[in-house]
Structure 1
Amino acid sequence: MLKKQYLPKEKIISILNEYNIGVIKKIEPLATSGNISYIVLTDTDEYFLRISPDGIRWRSRGEIEAELELISFLSEKGIPVINAELQKNKETVIELDNKFGYLRKYNRGEEILSPDTKHLKKFGRILGKYHKAIEGYRTKNHRKHTWDLEETKKNFKQNKEIILKSSFSKKEEFIEKFEKEIFPLNFPKNLPLGTIHEDLGKRHVIWRKDSIIGIIDFDRCYFGKIILDLGQALRGWCFIDDWSNWSNKNFKAILEEYQKEKKLNGLEKEYLIDAVKFAVLERGLSFCLRFILVTQDPEDGDYAMNSVSENGFLNIIEKNRDKIEQIIKAA
């Protein structure tokens, strides 16, 4: 599901020459889920170059500026993030052939894909701190791309025919089950809002010696309901055993520590399970369209189908509903 994308070397060099970063020693492409990314080694430091590609992952200059606004705001609030480097002309946003991006220091650390309780608690605490900081915060620049419930319903309606005409092997079953689950969902307008990350899975939290040193990849950030960000994070951290089981232990550890930084109100508690279910559905649709329009990778298609299949992710959540509700009530 991760792949490397490339720019001509001379164009990369032209971008890097706009910075005071020393002598370039090595430029290495980095596999990602969509952006054009490189690790750049110079005689002074390591850097991460990210450019939004054409197609569904394209972002405007304003959207990149909004992303960098959020990162700067979080840095001021003590959240471990890395600000973009300034170019010689004092700009932060890179423009190349109507593609936009930025350069930052590279966070040399590790992802922890099998976290223990200690890691889960630390993640829950930093997530609560993040959500407390961004409640009510909105960037001055606008993020056109959003992944909230209404946009997901709209996205599904617009792409339904594309799915039906595609080579996705179980397209009729996917559409039937997706429609059945997504359209009854609703979230009250008075749930707390903020500029959320939207993709705080394990790959986007960087560790060193059991400490979180970086939250990365704000490519999907937007102003929306904070509970949806929590639901998306719990989806990523509580499904275990290669997505075949749900861990109430993980859920409890994260939620208890989260509450020490930001207390969920009664309405947020009421809609938290729906937020996790929505996270599953949104990613299911995203992977379905990614399979059809971009990758043709069977793993993407399988993930999409497992999101809604009879014994898939939603079913696993429902089997654990009673215990999840007990944990939420006690938190």
Structure 2
Amino acid sequence: MAVYTDISDEELDDLLLQYDLGEVLSCKGIAEGVENSNFLLHMEAGFYILTLYEKRVEENDLPFFLGLMEHLAAKNFVSPTPIATKSGQSLTRVAGRPAAIIQFLEGRSIRRITPDHCALLGDTLADLHLAAQDFKLTRNNALDVTSWRNLFNRCKASNAEGQFSTAELKEIESELEFLELHWPQDLPTGVIHADLFPDNIFFLNNAVSGVIDYYFACTDFLAYDLAICMNAWCFETDSSFNITKARKLLNAYQKRREISVQELGALPLLCRGAAMRFYLTRLFDWLNQVDGALVKPKDPSEYLKKIRFHQDVTSVSAYGLTS
């Protein structure tokens, strides 16, 4: 959510005339995330998030993302609702970018993650999967296993100054070949969030108050969403794996939606793939930094350590479950 595109006062005023939100009291850029430009709007009607979708987000995908948020909110899931204009449109344009105004949710993201937070995450992720199962739209995962080879090649082309060693890139290429050869085929599929990191879920009074940032959401293996969350939530700052957090996450999820035997068997491989996906996107962002962005790209080496951990996992017992 870093700010890449600024909005003039005139552009903002013209945009807000399309809404029934009263006068604007303040508009401040949000210096978080890496995908879109976000602003906190304080209107007479309350607080909202104004998002400008940058070039990395395909405009044709926006009806899926906004429609999913509307669908989830209608199912009483803790998703923010896109705000419609006076003419009933959720998607508009400002400063040359497609844009939307989204409901502001109370709560805060958690920095010091406990096993109990992971249990709440498991509950919430299962609820999301169940609430979205009758969502009519679909979207292919643009960052699935079939995309990683091209992304890796683009990273190698951007590594002209040798920021990342030949040995590390060879290690990643070997892992990539393994994943391409062994990626599972027939697991339960549905709408997944695909980016449910700690900064994308809010807590308030020991409960989840909101899930945000659906701009990687897609149709893919449900268990892949679990793998993404395990990578994002169950490792400590020293890169050690916290089996208690993983057990809490998986057990809470299973109480809402049963994880099949096939999904459990594939989980170590899915975790390797999820770690690869975030290693590659972080590597690409590190090698292709955007001038003027308020946020420095994240170091990909964190996810190389996670790849290595999952490579040694032979069963889900390493994640705190019995197979």
Q: TM-score, normalised by structure 1?
A: 0.87
Matches of 1:155 and 1:37 in 2, distance apart? 26
Matches of 2:226 and 2:136 in 1, distance apart? 18
Question: The residue matched to 1:257 in structure 2 has which SS?
Answer: helix
Matches of 1:145 and 1:193 in 2, distance apart? 12
Matches of 1:59 and 1:39 in 2, distance apart? 23
Matches within 5 A, 1:19-168: 19-32=19-32, 33-54=34-55, 57-60=56-59, 62-96=60-94, 99-135=97-133, 137-139=135-137, 143=139, 146-157=142-153, 159-165=154-160, 167-168=161-162
List gaps (5 residues or longer) in structure 1: none
Aligned to 2:232: 236
Indicate conservation of the 8 Å contact 1:48/1:105, yes or no. yes
Cα distance 1:218–1:326, how it changes in 2: closer, same or farther (>3 A)?
Answer: closer
Matches within 5 A, 1:291-306: 291-295=286-290, 300=297, 303-306=299-302
> Does 2:172 align with 1:178?
yes
Judge which range, 265-274 or 183-192, deviates more: 183-192
- What does the per-residue CA deviation read over 1:158-180, in whole Å, with 9 as the maximum and x for residues that have no partner? x1542342x35124233211111
Indicate conservation of the 8 Å contact 1:79/1:130, yes or no. yes
Indicate conservation of the 8 Å contact 2:276/2:303, yes or no. yes
> Comparing both chains, which one has the higher relative contact order based on Cα–Cα distances under 8 Å and sequence gaps of 6 or more?
2
Shift of 1:320: 6.3
Cα distance 1:160–1:114, how it changes in 2: closer, same or farther (>3 A)?
Answer: closer
Cα distance 1:16–1:44, how it changes in 2: closer, same or farther (>3 A)?
Answer: same
Cα distance 1:328–1:134, how it changes in 2: closer, same or farther (>3 A)?
Answer: farther
Matches within 5 A, 1:194-205: 194-205=190-201
Indicate conservation of the 8 Å contact 1:39/1:47, yes or no. yes
> Does 2:186 align with 1:190?
yes
List gaps (5 residues or longer) in structure 2: none
Shift of 1:245: 1.3
Number of aligned residues? 317
Indicate conservation of the 8 Å contact 2:158/2:288, yes or no. no
- What does the per-residue CA deviation read over 1:225-261, in whole Å, with 9 as the maximum and x for residues that have no partner? 1121111111111011x25211001000010110001
Cα distance 1:93–1:214, how it changes in 2: closer, same or farther (>3 A)?
Answer: same
Judge which range, 91-100 or 220-229, deviates more: 91-100
Question: The residue matched to 2:230 in structure 1 has which SS?
Answer: helix
Indicate conservation of the 8 Å contact 2:38/2:50, yes or no. yes
Matches of 1:50 and 1:171 in 2, distance apart? 37
CA RMSD between the two structures:
2.5
Indicate conservation of the 8 Å contact 1:94/1:102, yes or no. yes
Identity across the alignment (%): 16
Aligned to 1:213: 209
Matches of 1:168 and 1:214 in 2, distance apart? 41
Cα distance 1:64–1:276, how it changes in 2: closer, same or farther (>3 A)?
Answer: same
Indicate conservation of the 8 Å contact 1:147/1:282, yes or no. yes
Matches of 2:245 and 2:314 in 1, distance apart? 14
Matches of 1:284 and 1:44 in 2, distance apart? 41
Cα distance 1:305–1:194, how it changes in 2: closer, same or farther (>3 A)?
Answer: same
Matches of 2:188 and 2:258 in 1, distance apart? 12
Matches of 1:43 and 1:299 in 2, distance apart? 34
Matches of 2:6 and 2:290 in 1, distance apart? 18
Cα distance 1:245–1:103, how it changes in 2: closer, same or farther (>3 A)?
Answer: same
